[in-house]
Amino acid sequence: MDERFAKYVLSGEKAEPLGDGYYIIQSENGYRFGSDAVALAHYASGFAHRNSRVFDLCSGCGIIGIMLAIDCGCAVDGAEIDGTLCDMSVRSCALNSLDGVRFVNADIKNADMFAAAGYDLVVCNPPYYKVDSKPSTVAPQANSELTVTLSDVVATAKRLLKVSGALCMVHISSRLDEVLMECSRNGLAPKELIVNPNGKTFMLRAVRGGKQGMTVKVEEFK
């Protein structure tokens, strides 16, 4: 194993290539990020630049925030309640020498350590399923709302965002009505909805203090 990998990659983990010499650490057999997270990172990169401050809610192993930092050169903070996943994200940052990215092991409902109205962009790939659904046996907190709900996510995004800042999130289509309702309740105006052609998932951009008016597209997630 490359000496650099040996320093940061633990037993039972792999350093997956992201291109251009960058890597992300994730479990070989445990919870692994999916294509929705990658698609969200690609989508959100269109709204971030070098001077942006970005917050990655429910950051998992850090894939979305790390991809944004690599692609856009932006500063990224993130919070993940699962200590094992958060530790992977911290080591991925060290492996890639990403000094402007900081992940902390924290409950987003207690995110007072981060500046209110301090971020231009908030990204989130939240747990998709309600707590009364059958949790996944692998990292159930990442799949079901056992520790954080949709309401928590949107309310925290509102607190973190500057006026005119945007929340970009991915979710399952069966909960689209709830997502739109929570955004409107928290003063985040839905501006763009992208529906996956398979009809199962969507990405949404909602702007704090934005005007009414939303475009809807059907596009393949990339």
pLDDT at site 33: 94
Local confidence band at 110 (pLDDT 50, 70, 90 cut-offs): confident
pLDDT digits (tens, 9 = 90+) for 7-36: 999 999 999 999 999 999 999 988 899 999
Residue 60 near residue 80 (C-beta atoms within 8 A): yes
Residue 89 lies in a domain: yes
Residue 13 lies in a domain: no
Residue 25 lies in a domain: no
Q: Torsions phi, psi of 21, nearest 5?
A: 85, 10
pLDDT digits (tens, 9 = 90+) for 62-84: 999 999 999 999 999 999 999 99
Q: Torsions phi, psi of 214, nearest 5?
A: -130, 135
Residue 121 near residue 54 (C-beta atoms within 8 A): yes
222 versus 38: the higher-pLDDT residue is 38
Domains contained in the chain, number: 1
Task: State the distance between the two ends of the chain, measured CA to CA, in whole angstroms.
Answer: 31
By three-state DSSP, how is residue 33 classified? coil
Residue 1 lies in a domain: no
- What angle is formed at CA 80 by the lines to CA 78 and CA 86, rounded to 5 degrees? 90
Domain span holding position 177: 34-218
pLDDT at site 146: 86
The chain-wide mean pLDDT, for the chain, equals: 94
For residue 9, what are its two tokens?
A: 């990659």
pLDDT at site 42: 98
Whether pLDDT at 135 is above 60? no
Residue 6 lies in a domain: no
- What angle is formed at CA 89 by the lines to CA 28 and CA 175, rounded to 5 degrees? 85
Element (H, E) at 67: helix 63-72
Residue 154 near residue 183 (C-beta atoms within 8 A): yes
Whether pLDDT at 58 is above 90? yes
State the Rg of the chain over Cα: 17
Residues pairing with 124 in the sheet = 57, 169
Whether pLDDT at 1 is above 60? no
**CATH of residue 173:** 3.40.50.150
141 versus 15: the higher-pLDDT residue is 15
Residue 20 lies in a domain: no
- What is the reported pTM? 0.95
Residue 84 lies in a domain: yes
pLDDT at site 3: 79
Whether pLDDT at 88 is above 80? yes
pLDDT at site 139: 62
137 versus 220: the higher-pLDDT residue is 220
pLDDT at site 4: 81
Residue 9 lies in a domain: no
pLDDT at site 30: 85
Q: Torsions phi, psi of 135, nearest 5?
A: -65, 150
Q: Quote the CA–CA distance of 154 and 167 in Å, as a whole number.
A: 8
